[in-house]
Amino acid sequence: MTAILEPDETEPVPPLDHRRAVLKHRRGTRWMHWGNFPLLTIMIWSGLRIYWAEDIYAFGILDWEWFAFFPDWFYETLGLNRKLARGLAFHFSFAWLFAINGLAFGIYTLVTGEWRQLVPDRQALRDAWGVLLHDLHLRKEAPSQDGRYNAAQRLTYSLIIGFGGVALLTGFAIFKPTQLSFLTTMFGGYTMARRIHFAVTIVFMLFFVVHILQVARAGWRNFASMITGYEVVDAGPTSEEADHG
């Protein structure tokens, strides 16, 4: 005779797992995003070699130099000590890869419709201010978010893509000032194009710092989604689970 065991009603029932994995980043977006990281790192590193090869960043009067902003150990540690030829070789070689990756990303976003997630709408400036106040804990509720990115992210990412184009154009204006004289003239001459190119580099470096801090603030799930493509989110019970609840 088989015994039928009745469930113990006093025993706690384990909670149902209502987490769901949703697609957040397409494969092409992830590849080109991570490809940009080493490319920009090498571009900035080699660009510093070019800018600092002459060691002109010092303070003084006429021929009397009081102090240099960057001591010798700084150049030696980063490998910047007057290796102009190597810096130029690395910079121009990886500039083509950076340009190809950027062009591929632009075509990819147009073909797949991903541009709709990046381009800010008319209320972006107002909502971005609200996001900033919320991040600074000066506002309790964040503005409503329609899509994958909030207004501040859309503005920032769109500006960074635009700065990438400016970096390439000013780079070509510096590289071939005679053959591409129209570019050099458009940016106000060789010296001004060089200054804009350097300023864009500073913007990229600041963006790196802020971006990494924001990723750390968003948590592991957000970071993992850029690797796997999926983000695990907390969702409510399905209709079948609710009926049996």
pLDDT at 171 over 50: yes
pLDDT band (50, 70, 90) for residue 25: confident
Expressed in angstroms, the distance from the first to the final Cα of the chain is 33
pLDDT confidence tier of residue 57, bands split at 50, 70 and 90: low
| Residue with the larger pLDDT of the pair 128 and 173 | 173
Q: Residue 242's pLDDT band (boundaries 50, 70, 90)?
A: very low
- Provide the residue ranges of all domains of the chain, joining segments of one domain with +: 19-52+70-233
Residue-level pLDDT at 71: 66
Right CATH for 19-52+70-233 from 1.20.950.20, 1.20.1050.140, 3.40.1390.10, 2.40.10.120: 1.20.950.20
Longest C-alpha distance within the chain, in Å?
108
Confidence band for 239, pLDDT divided at 50, 70 and 90: very low
Within the chain, strands assigned E span 19-23, 58-61, 64-68, 230-234
Q: Round to whole Å and give the CA distance between 124 and 130.
A: 10
**3-state secondary structure string, 123-179?**
CHHHHHHHHHHHHCCCCCCCCCCCCCCCHHHHHHHHHHHHHHHHHHHHHHHHHCCCC
